[in-house]
Amino acid sequence: MAVASVVLTAPLASAQNLDAGKSPEKLFADGCSACHRSPRGLAKGRMSLTLTWFLQDHYSAGPDTAKALAAYLQSVDEPPPSAAAKPRAKSSKPRPPKPVQAH
């Protein structure tokens, strides 16, 4: 069981990167959820590189951890408010916004 093995091996692994092998969800729950209630809306459409740098810089995450977290934050990022406000946003497949059609 993953949870049990993490608990049992943690003291032995103290000299290593404890974040190694954790899922981004777990990383967020452990390290971020105290201040950020939800991972949603944190990426704010930023590029993964920008986000990765931000996370490394502000939270001293290792490069791999920062990368995984950045990808996670992007994957759960909320669509911009204009897209969310559209009535059919939920029922239809995600589509790139269409330019205004000139008929």
* Dist. CA 15–CA 34, nearest whole Å: 25
Nearer to ligand HEC, 58 or 93 (CB): 58
Nearer to ligand HEC, 62 or 97 (CB): 62
Which residues, 6+ apart, have CB-to-CB distance to 73 below 8 Å?
39, 42, 43, 51
Site string for ligand HEC, 58-87 (x = CB under 6 A): -x-x-------x---x--------------
Specify whether the CB–CB gap between 78 and 38 falls below 8 A: no
Residue numbers at the binding site for ligand HEC (CB under 6 A): 31-32, 34-36, 42, 44, 54-55, 59, 61, 69, 73
